[in-house]
Amino acid sequence: MLAAVDAGRRFGGVQRLYGAVALGRFQAARVCVIGIGGVGSWAVEALARNAIGHLTLIDLDNIAESNVNRQLHAVEGEFGKAKVTAMAERARAINPHVDVSEVEDFVTVDNVDAMLGQGYDVVLDAIDDARAKVAIAAWCHQHKMPLVIVGGAGGRLDATKIKTADLVKVTGDRLLAKVRNSLRRDHGFSRDPKVKAGIQCVYSDEQVQKPDASCEVDAEAAITGLNCAGYGSSVCVTAPFGMVAAGLVLSLLKG
């Protein structure tokens, strides 16, 4: 638990909004964020500023100049640093009492059990690899672990189009549609649109903007939406995606 002076001065606003009981739950919570990029970095920021006590950050990438347009940690002096390290340092600067674990790796079908079997209270999936997203969702569903999934933020311009819904209700998101279909086909999820998947999603139904004609684009990379070789992206959309996702995590934790 945080010292009383820190809880009062740093997180008094959180307590006034959510209440003392919820603040205590935040401080005791174990949250895993997978993907510390254009969406995940902002989600970590929000979770740290809401006094989450234990964070596990999973990502194998290092910060690059091509991340500047959308990722919180992409600033001069940080290029080349592991994304998990940069955000762990920032989380500790926000809250010196936070316990942060850095995992420099990607979640895959083969390692999902080892990655997620650590007793987390909530998992936040902010990656753009459909196969890995399916593995994460299937594992969390099997183990009854609360999960928030983020859809594609690339190619979007209007943050007011961001929505939240159960996975079965998501529309206009190619990445989440692919995840939903795979879960139904390979993992026994119901095909009945009236039966909820029990997975909260953050997505946008805005029509995706194709890359400008002057840009060379990797068509395969563009499918997932946030790869720097695919659709363009803006922090004006990726940051709100991360904040909305963090808000869903807090709602799950506060009880």
Find the mean pLDDT for residues 43-57: 99
The answer to whether 74 touches 68, Cβ cutoff 8 Å, is: yes
Whole domain around residue 37: which residue ranges? Answer: 29-254
Does residue 116 form part of some domain? Answer: yes
Taking only the tens place, the pLDDT of each residue in 152-201 is 999 999 999 999 999 999 999 999 999 999 999 999 999 999 999 999 99
Residue 33 pLDDT more than 70? Answer: yes
Percentage of the chain beyond pLDDT 90 is 87
Q: In this predicted structure, what is the pLDDT of residue 223?
A: 46
Residue 215 pLDDT more than 80? Answer: no
CATH code assigned at 38: 3.40.50.720
Average pLDDT, the chain: 93
Q: In this predicted structure, what is the pLDDT of residue 214?
A: 73
Does residue 7 form part of some domain? Answer: no
* Count of domains forming the chain: 1
Does residue 95 form part of some domain? Answer: yes
93 vs 7, 49, 61, 75, 86, CA distance in Å?
15, 10, 22, 16, 11
Find the mean pLDDT for residues 126-149: 98
Find the mean pLDDT for residues 216-244: 74
Confidence of residue 52 (pLDDT cuts 50, 70, 90): very high
The H or E element that residue 114 is part of is helix 112-116
Residue 4 pLDDT more than 80? Answer: no
Whole-angstrom Cα distance, residue 233 to residue 38? Answer: 9
**Residue 166 forms beta bridges with which residues?**
200
Q: In this predicted structure, what is the pLDDT of residue 30?
A: 99
Find the mean pLDDT for residues 25-29: 98
Does residue 1 form part of some domain? Answer: no
How many CA atoms does the CB half-sphere of 211 hold within 13 Å?
18
Q: In this predicted structure, what is the pLDDT of residue 222?
A: 47
Taking only the tens place, the pLDDT of each residue in 63-98 is 999 999 999 999 999 999 999 999 999 999 999 999
Q: In this predicted structure, what is the pLDDT of residue 7?
A: 65
Q: In this predicted structure, what is the pLDDT of residue 6?
A: 61
Q: Is the dihedral of CA 179, 196, 115, 185 positive or negative?
A: negative
Residue 224 pLDDT more than 50? Answer: no
Does residue 73 form part of some domain? Answer: yes
Residue 237 pLDDT more than 60? Answer: yes
Q: In this predicted structure, what is the pLDDT of residue 225?
A: 47
Confidence of residue 8 (pLDDT cuts 50, 70, 90): confident
Whole-angstrom Cα distance, residue 153 to residue 70? Answer: 10
List the one residue out of 153, 142, 156, 182 whose CA is nearest residue 241: 153
Does residue 142 form part of some domain? Answer: yes
Does residue 13 form part of some domain? Answer: no
Full-model pTM: 0.92
Does residue 24 form part of some domain? Answer: no
Q: In this predicted structure, what is the pLDDT of residue 213?
A: 76
